[in-house]
Structure 1
Amino acid sequence: MSGFLFVVPPLTGHINPAAGVAAELAARGHRVAWACADPGLVRRLAGEEAVVFPCDGPVPGSGEGVRPPEIRGPEALKFLWERFLVPLADEMAPGVRAAVQEFGPDVVVADQQALAGALVAEHLGVPWATSATTSAEFTDVLAGMPKVAEWLDAVLHGLRERIGAPSGPGAADPRFSPHLVLAFSTPELVGPGARTGDRIRWVGPSVAARPAPSDFPWDWLDPARSTVLVTLGTANTDVGARFLRECLDALRARADRLQAVIADPAGVLGAADDDRDDDKDVLILPAVPQLPLLERVDAVVCHAGHNTVCEALWHGVPLVVAPIRDDQPVVAAQVADAGAGVRVRFGRADAARLGAAIDAVLDEPGYRAAAGRIRTAFRAAGGAGAAASQLERLAATGGTTPEESA
């Protein structure tokens, strides 16, 4: 039996994939614990019985971490690092160090955005694996921005000097473990330019059962019409109102041939829908059981969040993607380049453009065929089970590969 400490940021999309792997390891008899700045969120997603070591850290979407919606491109990247990722690493580090010392893991599993996990583990001499819950880092998006790449290198160097081992020839990039990188996607989606290496393992999405609303009206779904799911995730309520209203208009205009489920956690569509209590065309809910619903839908409209994209393609469902920020433009480009969906511009998407994109992914068979090819690749990669097996091997070898220990 080995011990695994998962170090994660307080972000749903980063905890969910790790939760599937943690559950698989626990089912195999291993000790599992977590370190996070939001223990309650971990327990909601991974189970109330989860052992969570609390850490300090900023809460996304509040205080100085609130990002002005007009920020895009390199400025958005800089904001993300300076206002969230760097403070998160600095503030989490003492809690992660205490968790490692108390729990005594054989392996630390550090999310790419929970940099304290990697730096503390390396400093304490504990083997660590990277949990890469988005594939954006596996394409060289900064190749054409050398000054941004240089700035980011300096940021990482500063973090290492403050909370990690001193920099040196053997120092690793804390986003990429020298022992094991679990990439929760496959090259079939990421594309031919996907980063490769001896330690990178493309395990596909970690899709596992998780808590979901139990009161979804399944009998509302009409099998005679196509069903479209619209979701912008849980972190985009500050900018999503206009987009959701345009989606609503586009979907109502097609009610003769489709129906839609819209996730509206902030209730921005309430006023627009007050007079349709018995609506048979559009169902608007604050939360939806996304995984079981994806088994029943024909298309997804989303923000190109990595989790939503991978979960849709895991079910072979084509997408309309409207990226907003962070890694979403990269993921959206992956979907479009793979032929599994249509990309639209979030800020300019109106009912006409959205309607045309929805029509395309529903009516043109090439999109569904491409989504089906990725579905096959995802399932062959092994998901949470494959990731758990890789972590078991790392624990057994103590940070060396079988080739190195032979």
Structure 2
Amino acid sequence: MSAFLFVVPPLTGHINPAVGVAARLAVRGHRVGWACADPALVRRLAGDGAAVFPCAGPVPGADGAVRPPDVRGAEALRFLWEWYLLPLADAMAPGVRAAVARFRPDVVVADQQAFAGALVAEHLGLPWATSATTSAEFSGAYDGLPMVAGWLRQRLSELRTRVGDPSGTADPRFSPHLLLVFSTPELIGPQAPSAPHVHYVGPSLAGRPDGPGFPWGRLDHGRAKVLVTLGTANADAGARFLAACLAALRERADRVQAVLADPGGALPADPGDKDVLIRPSVPQLPLLARMDAVICHAGHNTVCEALWHGVPLVVAPIRDDQPVVAGQVVDAGAGLRVRFGRVTADRLGAALDTVLHEPAHRAAAARLRTAFRAAGGARSAAARLEELAARSR
């Protein structure tokens, strides 16, 4: 049997896809370890028994510092890299080295945004795989932006000098050994790269805690059901958008029932409301099996989980990779895009009516569901990692 060390940022959306893969490897008798700046988060998502090696590093929101909600576009990308991704890699590198020394993995599985995992593995001569939990990097996101692409390459080169092997050549975002993409070309589009070491495995879904007390009995089978969520990292930016959603949904209460995730408490919640169930958190995966549409921020996990269930979307990207993922949804025909910062209840409602009632969007979502399920998810990803470990012995 082999040993696999997952190196992940302290972000729910990046850990969740790895959880299913790690569980599959463990069931097959392999040793699995984790390196993360937030061990408690890993154990909450992967189970109390997860072997987690703590690393230093910024944990979003832990110190009260948050990214300004109005930062968008190229400014948001630069902020993400300079405020978070590069400092995270610098801080994590010593802990990743210590984890490798103690755990002695055969393969390092590095999240695409946990650069320390890739650079430390390269420096130590270990085979490493990329866990690509967003497909934005594979959609030509920097085409036509040579200055941005050059700036990113320069920052990564400087990072390699600090924490890795200065003579190394691999881009820490793209392993030359194994690149696991939790999507499929059917969603990414014609720019999806093709190479022997690139494998599209679709969403990796694993059991997650349902959370206490979701009122399943209040779901109305006589109305279309809509999930509204802005993910786990956008509570600071969502008050206006959620208010527009609430207004649009109340106008359609005779035919639509909504579940609205509001972790920041931006909206007044009425425990007896039968039309819009406002909750601080929701059991997203089991809910999606009952939904007819999703309104979201175009976060990669939410989009892929909705499409795995064949549910069409209204997407309102905020920042980071979300505009790229939203473009993938629209280009695939599986949903419509609205402007996050300027949407009105009328525009949002019209988009929702379209995805609920025009069959083309549901048919496109069904095609993507077929492609996602054929890709194999966690089972396929685990098999590819086993192959890499076997080749490296």
Aligned to 1:310: 304
Do the aligned residues in 2 keep the contact of 1:157 with 1:167 (CA within 8 Å)?
A: no
CA contact (8 A) 1:65 1:84 kept: no
Contact residue 25 and residue 32 of structure 1 kept, 8 A? yes
| Alignment CA distance shift 1:380-1:246 (3 Å) | same
Q: What code does the residue aligned with 1:374 have?
A: L
Shift of 1:208: 1.2
CA distance in structure 1 between the aligned counterparts of 2:108 and 2:279, rounded to whole angstroms: 38
Q: Secondary structure at the residue paired with 1:357? A: helix
Match of residue 348, structure 2, among 354, 359, 363: 354
CA distance in 2, matches of 1:48, 1:230: 30
Contact 1:65 1:83 in 2 (8 A): no
Q: Which residue of 2 aligns with 1:263?
A: 261
Structure 1 gap segments, 5+ residues each: 400-406
Tell me the SS of whatever aligns to 1:268: coil
- AA partner of residue 390 (structure 1): R
The structure 2 residue matched to 1:248, chosen from 231, 243, 246, is 246
Cα distance in 2 for residues equivalent to 1:296 and 1:139: 30
Q: What is the match of residue 402 of structure 1?
A: none
Shift of residue 198, structure 1, vs aligned partner: 2.1
- Looking at structure 1, the residues matched to 129 and 281 of structure 2 have their Cα atoms a distance apart, in angstroms, of 32
1:322 is aligned, of 288, 302, 316, to 316
Q: Which runs of 4+ in 1 moved over 3 A?
A: 61-65
> Partner of 2:39 in structure 1?
39
One-letter identity of the residue aligned with 1:257: R
Q: Distance in 1 between matches of 2:271 and 2:304?
A: 33
CA distance in structure 2 between the partners assigned to 1:232 and 1:220 by the alignment = 22
Matched to 1:247, the amino acid is C
Cα gap change, 1:209 to 1:167, in 2 (>3 Å): same
Unaligned runs of 5+ in 2: none
Corresponding residue for 1:235? Answer: 233
**Which amino acid counterpart does residue 45 of structure 1 have in structure 2?**
L
Alpha-carbon shift at residue 61 of structure 1 (Å): 3.4
Q: What TM-score, normalized by structure 2, do the two folds share? A: 0.98
Matched, 1:115 2:109: no
For 1:395, the equivalent position in structure 2 comes to 389
* 2:370 is the counterpart of 1:376: yes
- Match of 1:94, SS state, is helix
- Which residue of 169, 175, 178 corresponds with 1:177? 175
The count of aligned residue pairs is 393
One-letter code aligned to 1:150: G
> Are the counterparts in 2 of residues 58 and 65 from structure 1 also a CA contact under 8 Å?
no
**Per-residue CA shift, 1:97-118, capped at 9, x if unaligned?**
0000100000000000000000
Segment of structure 1 superposing worse, 191-200 or 375-384: 191-200
Query: Which of the residues 218, 221, 225 maps onto 2:219?
Result: 221
Identical pairs, percent: 72
| C-alpha distance after superposition, 1:106-148 (max 9, x if no partner) | 0000000000000000101111000000000112211211111
Aligned residue in 1 for 2:326? 332
What RMSD in Å do the two structures reach over aligned CA positions?
Answer: 1.1
> Structure 1 stretch 49-58 or stretch 66-75: which is displaced more?
66-75
Instruction: Assess if the C-alpha contact under 8 Å between 1:336 and 1:342 holds in 2.
Output: yes
Q: TM-score, normalised by structure 1?
A: 0.95
CA offsets 1:196-225 (integer angstroms, 9 cap, x no match): 222110011101111121411111011110
Deviations 1:334-387 (A, max 9, x none): 000000001001001110011001100000011010000000000000000000
1:403 maps to none
> Which residue does the alignment assign to 1:404?
none
Match of 2:201 among 192, 200, 203: 203
Matched, 1:57 2:57: yes
1:280 corresponding residue in structure 2: 274
Instruction: Tell me what 2:148 maps to.
Output: 148
Give me the whole-angstrom Cα distance separating, in 2, the residues matched to 1:229 and 1:142. Answer: 31
Q: Secondary structure at the match of 1:304?
A: coil
